[in-house]
Amino acid sequence: MSTATITDSADFYALEDLFDAGEQAYLHSGRDVMASEVEPTVNRHWQRGSFPFEIVPGFRQLGLAGLPYHGFGCPGKSFLLDGMVTMELARTDPSIATFAAVHGGLAMGSIYLCGSEDQKQRYLPAMARYEKIGAFGLTEPDVGSGASRDLTTTARRDGDSWVLTGQKKWIGNATFGGLTVIWAGMKSVGTPSGCQAAVTATEGRVWPQWFPGAPPSNSTG
């Protein structure tokens, strides 16, 4: 068991010892960026209610976005490494870990797992480079995060467009996200009423593009 792993991080089960040298270096780089770029300024941002956009280039250089996904400019690392990196981010500041998880996990993950090939090619490379920040809207005021069947937000087809009706709350990265994934119940699209699907809205415009990989009777994400 590595003594350094236990004393220098929050990895009390020494999971880092399961990584090869390259993966360990990746993890340590994330730890160093948080210590050098985030920790000195994060309290000031907390007090101001602002986001430290100056840290994004460091995250881009490390390749933290979409860490476990393959192709589309994503690093293609393991899910274990992704979890360990998130832990290191949270050790310094949980809000920064949330930012990274919403962008690289919830938003990018929805597109990677459920999106069409066109959607993956269109969105994921820019998101992997942090050129477009992902936001994620699932939770609703009255039903919480009931993705399986309780969501009241609906979407209906209107010619070549989709119309979203409903409310969301706690949309991660909503104030600055350039692409938002919204979960809603589909209406009149040849599938059972009330089934769940994911849509994207980009740059403030509702631009739904139903993910064909989202199963009609089950929800993902």
Residue 77, pLDDT > 90, answer yes
Residue 221 pLDDT class (50, 70, 90 cuts): very low
Residue 70 pLDDT class (50, 70, 90 cuts): very high
- Helix H or strand E segment including 60: helix 56-62
Whether the full predicted model's pTM is greater than 0.85, yes or no, is no
Beta-bridged to residue 136, according to DSSP, are: 172, 181
Residue 191, pLDDT > 50, answer no
- Domain covering 134-206, topology: Butyryl-CoA Dehydrogenase, subunit A; domain 2 (2.40.110)
Task: Report which of residues 208 and 118 the model is more confident about.
Answer: 118
Superfamily, domain 3-128: Acyl-CoA dehydrogenase/oxidase, N-terminal domain (1.10.540.10)
Residue 96, pLDDT > 60, answer yes
Look at residues 158, 88, 74 and name the one whose alpha carbon lies nearest to residue 124.
74
**pLDDT of res. 198:** 56
Report domain extents, the chain.
3-128, 134-206
Lowest-confidence pick of 74-78, 112-116, 128-132: 112-116
DSSP of 89-146: HHHH-HHHHHHHHIIIIIIHHHHHHH--HHHHHHHHHHHHTTSS-EEEE--BTTTBS-
Residue 1, pLDDT > 60, answer no
